[in-house]
């Protein structure tokens, strides 16, 4: 959805963003360290932390953000 210059843009809920980032890191870091300890691959550590952190933080923001605030993934990729 493209916003017009005259239309009001919804704002992010910054408190929810901080909560989502904190929860994402709190889940992703132990998950990444556990995978590294079991498998011994630092490359896999990076993949697990990135995927788990992103997924958990998006999920958390969607549930914590105030009604009517801007969703995280509302802007499509523009080329």
Domains held by the chain: number: 1
Q: Is the pTM of this model over 0.85?
A: no
Is residue 34 domain-resident?
yes
Q: Which residue has the tokens 């999920």?
A: 59
Q: Examine residue 48 and state whether it is found in any structural domain, yes or no.
A: yes
Residue 71 within a domain:
no
CA distance 20 to 16: 6
Q: Is residue 41 a part of any domain in this protein?
A: yes
> Domain for residue 20, yes or no?
yes
- To the nearest 10°, report the CA torsion of 40, 46, 47, 53: 120
Residue 9 structure tokens:
């843009």
Residue 1 lies in a domain: no
Is 56 part of any domain?
yes
What's the domain range around 21?
14-64
Q: If 0-12 CB within 10 Å is exposed, 13-18 middle and 19+ buried, where does residue 12 land? A: middle
Residue 58 belongs to a domain:
yes
**Residues 48/8, Cβ–Cβ less than 8 Å:** no
The tens-digit pLDDT sequence of the chain (79 residues) is: 455 554 567 888 999 999 999 999 999 999 999 999 999 888 999 999 999 999 999 999 999 999 989 888 756 655 5
């Amino acid at each position: 959805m493209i916003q017009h210059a005259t239309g009001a843009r919804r704002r992010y809920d910054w408190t929810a963003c901080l909560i989502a980032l904190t929860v994402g890191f709190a889940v992703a870091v132990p998950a990444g360290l556990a995978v590294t300890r079991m498998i011994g691959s630092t490359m896999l550590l990076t993949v697990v932390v990135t995927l788990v952190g992103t997924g958990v933080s998006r999920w958390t923001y969607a549930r914590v953000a105030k009604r009517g605030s801007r969703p995280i993934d509302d802007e499509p990729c523009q080329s």
